Structure 1
């Protein structure tokens, strides 16, 4: 196993991690920002007001983008197994 192959696999792994976690992180950040603006304007400082909408938004994102995430991780796993079997 060469150094360039290890670096390629690591780079692909980091890219896949960012692609798979990206939708959930972006949705959580946007919902958190909207709820924070709402709390600042109304001066309601309830902790569950920020937690529950984020949780619901993350679950909806998982339902909508779950197939894409699983497919991406499955393809990467198959790629890794092909590399291992080729050694």
Structure 2
């Protein structure tokens, strides 16, 4: 049985893993959104798809580039959790 310190450590690791996985996508989406918003303000174009489609394309590209690394990170974390559950 896990004690409270180990459970808190697992929760901390889970939170940090979720940040490492989500942060690249959030940062690219935010930076692209700011660039597009500046472009829209400069040209007075207020089209909603102008912000959505480039963000979607950028996230898909990032997923293809970083997908293997993210999957390996999640697999390693899952393996660590299963070893802790098994008592090893």
| TM-score of Structure 1 vs Structure 2, range by shorter chain | over 0.9
SS of equivalent residue, structure 2 residue 45: coil
Structure 1 counterpart of 2:56: 55
Look up the SS of the partner of 1:46 in the other structure: coil
Which runs of 5 or more structure 1 residues have no equivalent in the other structure?
none
- The count of aligned residue pairs is 87
Gaps of 5+ in 2: none
Q: Distance in 2 between matches of 1:10 and 1:59?
A: 29
Match of 1:32 in 2: 33
| Alpha-carbon shift at residue 46 of structure 1 (Å) | 0.4
Q: Distance in 1 between matches of 2:27 and 2:69?
A: 16
Residue aligned with 1:33, SS: helix
Runs (4+) of structure 1 exceeding 2 A deviation are: none
Q: Encode CA deviations 1:35-56: one digit per residue, 9 max, x unaligned.
A: 0010011010001101000000
